[in-house]
Amino acid sequence: MTEQLLTAERAVIMGIVNMTVDSFSDGGKFVDHDRAVAHALDLVSAGADIIDVGGESTRPGATRVPHEVERARVVPVIAELSSRGVAVSVDTLNASTAQAAVEAGARFVNDVSGGLADEQMLRTVAQSTAVYIAGHWRGTPATMNSMATYDDVVGEVSAELAQRVDALRAAGVSNERIVLDPGLGFAKTSVHNWLLLTHLNELRELGFPVLVGASRKRFIAELLPEGAPMHDRDLPSALVAARAVAAGAWGVRVHDVRATRLALAVNEAWKAAS
């Protein structure tokens, strides 16, 4: 199934399950095991191809949690979802969590740091069969906002992702197991995020599938009236996802799978008619 997801003709939708108390979008809502599983299955019913389970927030300013706490949150959920035939990704910065998650059935390791947060991550992934999603990253949640300085954000992000690819290859991860993520919101201003979205073709020239995670992020919120509720970000997030897919993104990581699936269906109908 993993190979089919990587080579699918249509874009892949990754549904988000945050098992954290401080997620920017739904902190604390799905920390409970049963609620997390039920939410994941709802996302699958709505059209998610992959469920991305995370136990530690990586939003700017987030506080790190002990590795054992992260593992206790996510591994049982991953094991249950995998036993039900769901394709699961673990969203983690930590090699120990990645290893435990893969052993529990995760097929993807989604590391927003691209291996920079834990020096053991690339070796751990190389010893597994998991697909590795390498995000573009500068700094830590505590410092990333101060590092959002670029002369050419598209060129620099592309170059820094290429360096992560080189590190992955050196660690023994084959090209067929690499997906790249431009890291929207991580050490980037709103202007940087929009520039990256409008130049996805340059990121795709690196030769790897590209995952875009724009859902509900701050630069989306800036399109809305101040103080708008979180769910108001879902419509513009779905539209961004549709535009990203039209520009060649392999997949999109989203909170509202149903709205995203509808937006992508419009893309497909438009393309078919043209």
| Residue among 273, 180, 188, 201 nearest 244 (CA) | 201
Is there a catalytic annotation at residue 217? yes
Query: Which DSSP symbol is given to 49?
Result: S
**Helix, strand, or coil (residue 111):** strand
Give me the catalytic one of 138, 217, 233, 258: 217
Q: Show the CA angle centred on residue 58, arms to residues 45 and 90, nearest 5°.
A: 45
Distances (CA, A) of 112 to 41, 84, 99, 118: 24, 26, 16, 11
Q: What letters, b where the CB count within 10 A reaches 16 and e where it falls short, cover 236-258? A: bbbbbbbbbbbbebbbbbbbbbb
Cβ(47)–Cβ(13) below 8 Å: yes
CB atoms within 10 A of CB 187: 22
- Amino acid identity, residue 121? M
197: Cβ–Cβ under 8 A, 6 or more apart, which residues? 184, 212, 214, 240, 243, 244, 247
Q: Which residues are catalytic?
A: 217, 253
